[in-house]
Amino acid sequence: MQERLFRSERLAAIGELAAMVGHDLRNPLTGIAIATYYLRTKLGKRIDRKSQEMLKLIEQDIRHSDKIVNDLLEYSRELQLELAVTDAKAVVRDALAQVKRPKKIRVVDSVESHPRIVVDAEKIDRALVNLINNAIDAMPNGGMLRIAGHSSREQLEISISDTGEGMTKETLEKLWSPLFTTKPKGIGLGLPIAKRLVEAHGGSIRVESKPGKGSKFTVTIPIRLNHEVREVKHEK
Amino acid sequence: MKEMEGVRILVVDDEEGIRRSLEAVLEDRGYLVDTAENGQEAISKSKTKFYNLALVDIRLPDMDGVTLLTAMRETTPKMVKIIITGYPSLDNAIAAVNKGADGYVVKPFTMESLLGTIKEHLQKQKEAKRYSEEKVTEYIESRAKEQEAKPSRRRS
């Protein structure tokens, strides 16, 4: 119990530090990005292939660093929901549009537009993007990404399944801990952010996984009624 | 390039890298650029020179960008003010717009989107200026016609 308390205090401190570092890194990163844009537009095609490649590398690393900063800020920021009516199909479509899908991964999206849901679409999008990216990363040699929807009167479920590496019991135990990662380039905030965003909607994420077979993440979101939405908005 | 001729932009940011790189890109696009590293410098520069547009960072060392906007709204009401914010929250953006910002850009931004925002606001400013000039011309012409239509007292 004491160890868990110590760990949660440590994580809170890391979260605060992460937010500060994120804010402070944002400015020099912006400067680097603008200076790189200047070089690209000024020099254009006049520079040799190697220099073009180096510019591209700088741009890629700026995007990667921006993502890390965004994750740090997203995880430490206080959440405020901006609720609006949408549907599961639209949310999944927007999330899929934001991810880079390798050709060797087949995507099957069978989510339907019913029922209507009231969510902060941008935040649910973000949670789904993180889960989809996670599924894609689990299939380095290709495979199938399946996104399905299922609803009852009270809740909507969106499941994201991959045919990738799957996870061991040890990995599953630490899966939602911030800063835990098995990826060489990750910082371990993608899944905790997804969980935080879904839980802010009163929802949850559950996971099933078998090593060598793949994993399935299921997002459950309560279907709010109009008067409940008004109450949530009022509370804000 | 012609439409940028004579257009003055003030960049207000305490981060030297952002000031210098923005200055380089904007000058390359044909704009005349000045920079300020804090709110006081921005106020004093905007009092001595007219700027068509100011890009203002929301966090400055001596005052926040929103306070600077309030001060500049009084001294330079016609200057377009765009706030650059590192906090992508709707509340900050709304507060900035209420305090006199004409628009806002959220970090990280792409230069293409920032240049697009600048161009769009300058176009609106140009149209507003043309409209007010047309109104003045219209007023002068209608007054002149009224005067012509009045019978001369000397003749009567």
pLDDT digits (tens, 9 = 90+) for B73-92: 888 888 999 999 876 556 66
Q: Which residue of A has its CA nearest to B57?
A: A27
Contacts with A33 (C-beta within 8 Å, 6 or more apart), sequence order: A59, A62, B108, B110, B111
Question: Would you call A28 and B15 a contact, using CB atoms and an 8 Å cutoff?
Answer: yes
Q: Name chain A contacts of B113, Cβ cutoff 8 Å.
A: none
Window A:44-103, CB contacts with B under 8 Å: 66, 69-70, 80, 82
Q: Name chain B contacts of A66, Cβ cutoff 8 Å.
A: 108
The more confidently predicted of residues A50 and A113 is: A50
pTM comes to 0.69
Pairing of strands A214-222, A204-210: antiparallel
Rounded Cα–Cα distance for residues B85 and A75 (Å)? 19
Pick the residue of B9, B21, B87 with the most A CBs within 10 A to test the interface with A by mutation.
B21
Pick the residue of B1, B19, B23, B25 with the most A CBs within 10 A to test the interface with A by mutation.
B25
Binning chain A into helix, strand and coil, the percentages to the nearest 5 are 55, 20, 25
Nearest by CB: A23 against B16, B86, B108:
B86
Q: On the CB side of A155, how many CA atoms lie within 13 Å of its CA? A: 14
Ranking A119-133, A139-153, A174-188, B117-131 by mean pLDDT, the lowest is A174-188
- Inter-residue contact B82 to B121 (CB < 8 Å): yes
Question: Would you call B28 and A23 a contact, using CB atoms and an 8 Å cutoff?
Answer: no
Nearest by CB: B21 against A23, A34, A70:
A34
Residue B25: exposure state from Cβ atoms within 10 A (0-12, 13-18, ≥19): buried
Per-residue confidence at B66, pLDDT binned at 50, 70, 90? confident
Nearest by CB: B25 against A30, A37, A66:
A37
Rounded Cα–Cα distance for residues A131 and A129 (Å)? 5
Q: Does the pLDDT of residue A235 top 50, yes or no?
A: no
The reported pLDDT for the residue numbered A80 is 79
